[in-house]
Chain A
Amino acid sequence: MRRRRFLQAAGSASALGLAGCLVQDEGSTSTEPTTDDATTSDDGATSTTSETTTEATADLAGTVRVATYESFLNAPSESYDAPGKFVKERFEEQYPEATVEYTVPSNGLNEYIQRRKRGASVDADVYVGLNVDDLVRIDENLGDKRLFEGLDRGRMERASHVRDELEFGDPKGRALAYDTGYISLVYDERDVDAPETLDDLTTSPYKSKLLAQTAQGTDTGQAFLLWTIAEKGADGYLDYWRDLLDNDVKVLGSWWDSYSAYLDDQRPMVVSYSTDQVYANRDGQNMAKHQVGFPNDQGYANPEGMGVIQGSDEVDLAYAFMDFVLRGDVQQTIALSNVQFPAVTDEHVDLPAAFSDYAYRPEDPVSLGYDELKGNLSGWVEDWSRLVASN
């Protein structure tokens, strides 16, 4: 059953591959979605897209230790496995003398910050999964001690492929985006209309309709809060949230909590990702329940980045790895299995219709950069949390 569905997926992707001859990515060896089953890749169609086959680069040898988050390695995603396996296999194909070794710090990046603070060893070369608020937290906690190198982008030929709007605004230039999500609203059109503006959410048609997440430790919850701060200002966001709370917004613990509640029809609108329909389409769900709303035509951009751990002994391999992650086929794989948008511009990645027809970018992506967050973020979150908890 699983295999059959996979073959269908591979078929449609190959067809797209034929159409995608213009893709300018020298490293792209295939365009089918990745699975455990590599044998289906030789169907003739895809080979035409590989302008140059990957040449093994023998001069880089050694082990690159890649620290990341758990779902990069383990999360199941319908017929697509988590990206970790594909990335390791293909990288080692390109650099036969090199080995990728994954490690998952038990407390995420915080573990490395605490290690650096206490002078304990940080056993990794590259970190995959950085957010801009991580950079802020690093600097607020480590001061002069550094966890990441400032990147020398000249060492990665594909660094220029990354979309301009996905810059982190970090004065030290430590992070390079590899994918991005847009936080938006997902709603059931049988129950509510798309809110035109954020202010609409405080009006009576939306009373007791919205599910959100806490900004303490969840990406979507924090992104939604920062979106309201970007729009209402640091002076006005709490007033806006007072109105939202009066209108009975429900703030649950994690994205999962709120999305489960949404799927169980507790409420008809939830703060979530703008790629929601990609899943709905894969699962054959009713699209009426998976409408994506961009109030103010906005969505909050939440790019994920990677960086080189300062003190790494394998800096060359680390740069090679990051450059490799920006390769077209790797970008495609990560996008499909994480169901996030690739970081590179459209001409550098091929996306199957099953993704591109159902994933929406907001007209006007919003995000707060490093400078705006520094010194403010934890206070904003604390004030907001107290407001909600006292309500």
Chain B
Amino acid sequence: MSQSSTRSPSRAFVQRLVDEHALAVGVGGTAVVLLLVLYVPVGVVFSEAFGVDGAPSVARFAAVFTDDFYVGDLAGVLASPLAFDAHAAAIAGFVGGFGVRVATLGPIPYPAPVLPSVDTGLFGFTAWQALLSTVASVLVGLPAAYVLATFEFRGRKTLRSITILPFVLPGILVAAGFFAAFGESGLLNDVLGVVGLHQSLLETNPLFVVVLAHAFYNAPLVARVTTGAWESVDARMVETARSLGAPRRRAFRDVVVPQLLPAVMAGALLTYVFTFMTFPIVLALGGLQLATVEVWVYNAAQNLDVPTAATLAVMETAISLALTYAYLRYEAGRSGLGSAGVDVDRERFLPDLSALDAKRVAVLAYGAFAAVLFLAPLVALLAESVTDGTGFTLDNYAFLVQRQATGAAFQTKPLDAIANSLVFATATLLVAVPMGVVVAVVSSGRGRTRTVVDALTMLPVAVSGIVFGVGLLTGLVFGIDLPGPYTLKVTGVVAVVAAHAVAAYPFVVRNVKPQLAAVDRSLVESARALGATRVRALLDVQLPLVWPGVLAGGAFAFAISMGEFDSTVILATQSSTATMPVAVERYLGRTLGPAMAMGSVLLVVTAASFVAVDRLGGYLGGFDR
């Protein structure tokens, strides 16, 4: 505001005008984008679930709820809800089914629970594997956040920037990476074989491998969201607690944990929703025996049975939104815990060897585990790109060069794909961050209505990707008939960016909002009392305080766009608008090599751009963390 004296009166007027209406414009713009690219296309598909032969009906849902393939034993209950005797007998049988048995993990015996055999159906299994995946992702992700937020070591900033790299990898690369890393003759067995510990995990426990793959994707998400929150924890509050005599552990539990929990829960929620709707990776590693609901959505969509796809997808979305709502009620109850911090004191990780205490040994052990889980598939991927059946080769990269040099106009060229990815991702970042911040601001506050609205803003992550694709194709690409002679068609580059931004903005909301809620309201109120507009107060007071959250949200937006596949292919049909993940898919021939080479390019370009985005964002926010 110190600059205002140098402005001309008219500029000040314009500035004022912008300040007063920017929020309204932001809300309006966000609403239009969401309406066009999300609500209308998805709404058109969803509406098919609620009708039979043109008449409104819930018969399709009833059919799912009474089909034991989908809902297991629940189907019998719902088919004849009043048969109390049968239900009582079933419950007694259930209770009597609990027990304990001895199982072994390798050579180690341990007591394992025997659970009553309940057929939970497709939905039950889907929910169960998502729960396991979420627990695994949180267990793997939290220590990473702890390390990144509390220790200082060489390469920390770079490591933090590239944490979410797994998040952008096309499923085909992750599956191939997992086979090459953890398969029978994979890297891990090459190492373990030396000490005679050959593992056949994919054979003996495919569910474990699927959960591991989900953790590979989502633990980075948990880690990144939590790191952002951890960096916003007010160090002064910790110091105050300590100076009042609280032991370190106590200060952590009473001061730090309450400020982290919303972020951890947000990460867990997103992980659950994602893995609930997991699709290609579960079939690639676990097979149809571990099928999820989304597999049936895909099957129905492939058969052009849109009503069935829509019915299952509506149920998926309902479950996801219900969980989101529960989370938001929880988040709302925890706001206003303190002002967001501005700086973090980090311990040097290893100033010298004498500092190697139990805590640091545990961190090193975790680091070794994380290196195996995250690096092995990536290293395997890079290795596959420079080898063929007989040894080292650069042929796969020669293919990329050749395609670039001599490719026909209708072919996908690597450099074009790189450029498109970077342009789309940057544009997505620029659209999604304001969208997310606007939504975070207007949906903050208490009350059930706001919570419902807030839950609805999470729709992009709660809608089946397959149904979203069907909606984009049959809606925006084919055109939606409007009243009069008009048809609404939205395709091309702008549509791609809009679709990416819609997919990405919930991540901005979930990163920014918990931290925004933690900002002391009195700071904002003081600014308003001193004459600042709502927008000024947001830009000058709130955003700088929650910048780590904005940065994390922006990084996610960039990453979502980088990794997006379906809507890119649907909305931009020209081969010249292909992105890197699209190119990977198109270079898949009978040998993996060329696709792996393109995948390696994707890895390197994405990692470098993550570092650049983070550094630039830190610089813009006046932070250097």
A contact residues vs B (CB 8 Å cutoff): 1-2, 36, 70-71, 73-78, 82, 84-85, 88, 102-107, 110-111, 113-115, 118, 120, 137, 141, 208, 214, 216-217, 250-254, 256-257, 260-261, 263-267, 279, 283-285, 339, 378, 381-382, 385-386, 388-391
Contact = CB atoms under 8 A, between A and B. Distances in A.
A71 B398 contact: no
Contacts of A256: 172, 588
Contacts of B282: 253
A84 B410 contact: yes
Given A73-B410, A252-B283, A103 B573 contact: yes
B586 A264 contact: no
Interface in B409-438: 410-412
A107 B410 CA distance: 17
Given A75-B586, A250-B287, A265 B390 contact: no
A260 B288 contact: no
B289 A251 contact: yes
Contact of B291 (A73, A102, A285, A389): A389
Contact of A253 (B284, B469, B478, B479): B284
B399 interface: yes
A216 B478 contact: no
B26 interface: no
Given A71-B589, A216-B295, A85 B408 contact: yes
The 10 closest A-B pairs by CB, nearest first: A253-B283, A264-B183, A265-B184, A257-B284, A74-B586, A389-B291, A120-B478, A251-B288, A265-B185, A75-B589
Nearest to A119: B478
Contacts of B478: 114-115, 118, 120
6 contacts: A216-B288, A217-B298, A251-B288, A264-B183, A264-B185, A266-B183
Nearest to B171: A253
Contacts of A88: 408, 410
A283 B591 contact: yes
B587 A114 contact: no
Nearest to A70: B586
Contacts of A279: 590-591
Contacts of B585: 70
B203 A208 contact: yes
B203 to A, nearest CB: 7
Given A141-B304, A261-B202, A76 B406 contact: no
Contacts of A105: 573
Interface in B339-389: 388-389
B589 A252 contact: no
Contact of B298 (A216, A263, A285): A216
Interface stretch (B147-155, B173-181, B236-244, B443-451): B173-181
B288 A389 contact: yes
Contacts of B280: 253-254
A74 B411 contact: yes
Contact of A264 (B186, B295, B402, B590): B186
B493 interface: no
Contacts of A76: 399, 403, 587, 589, 591, 594
A303 B303 CA distance: 20
A118 B478 CA distance: 8
Contact of A137 (B183, B303, B398, B589): B303
Contacts of A75: 586-590
A120 B473 CA distance: 11
B484 to A, nearest CB: 17
A253 B287 contact: yes
B569 A106 contact: yes
B590 A74 contact: no
Contacts of B569: 106
Interface in B258-311: 280, 282-285, 287-289, 291, 295-296, 298-299, 302-305
Contact of A114 (B289, B303, B473): B473
A386 to B, nearest CB: 5
A85 B478 CA distance: 29
B395 A2 contact: yes
Contact of A254 (B283, B302, B388, B586): B283
A266 B283 contact: no
B179 A264 contact: yes
Contacts of A70: 585-586
A106 B473 contact: yes
Contact of A77 (B176, B287, B589): B589
A279 B412 CA distance: 24
A260 B173 CA distance: 11
B474 interface: yes
Interface of B: 69, 122, 172, 175-176, 179-180, 183-186, 202-203, 280, 282-285, 287-289, 291, 295-296, 298-299, 302-305, 388-390, 394-395, 398-399, 402-403, 406, 408, 410-412, 469, 473-474, 477-479, 569-570, 573, 575, 585-592, 594
Interface centre among A84, A263, A388 (most CB of B within 10 A): A263
Given A216-B295, A260-B592, A284-B390, 11 more contacts: A2-B398, A71-B586, A75-B590, A85-B408, A111-B473, A115-B478, A208-B203, A265-B184, A265-B185, A385-B299, A388-B288
Contacts of A114: 304, 473-474, 478
A386 B412 contact: no
Contacts of B590: 75, 77, 279, 339
B518 to A, nearest CB: 43
Given A2-B402, A74-B586, A76-B587, A106 B570 contact: yes
B80 to A, nearest CB: 22
A1 B395 contact: yes
A251 B288 CA distance: 6
B289 A388 contact: yes
Contact of B304 (A110, A254, A283, A389): A110
A98 to B, nearest CB: 16
Contact of B389 (A2, A251, A283): A283
A291 B296 CA distance: 34
B284 A106 contact: no
A78 B587 contact: no
A217 B291 contact: no
A36 B186 CA distance: 35
Contact of A266 (B176, B184, B291, B398): B184
A283 B473 contact: no
A1 B398 contact: yes
Interface centre among A77, A84, A256, A257 (most CB of B within 10 A): A257
Contacts of B302: 110, 216-217
Interface centre among A84, A264, A385 (most CB of B within 10 A): A264
A252 B185 contact: no
Nearest to B206: A250
A341 to B, nearest CB: 15
A254 B585 CA distance: 13
A265 to B, nearest CB: 4
Given A104-B573, A107-B570, A118-B478, A264 B184 contact: yes
B362 to A, nearest CB: 33
B249 to A, nearest CB: 46
A385 B288 contact: yes
Contact of B175 (A77, A84, A260): A260
A215 to B, nearest CB: 9
Given A114-B473, A253-B287, A260-B592, A106 B183 contact: no
A73 B287 contact: no
A88 B69 CA distance: 49
A73 B336 CA distance: 57
B283 A214 contact: yes
Given A1-B398, A118-B478, A251-B288, A260 B304 contact: no
Contacts of B479: 120
A174 to B, nearest CB: 18
A250 to B, nearest CB: 5
Given A36-B402, A106-B473, A107-B473, A137 B304 contact: yes
Nearest to A102: B410
Contacts of A283: 388-390, 591
A375 B590 CA distance: 33
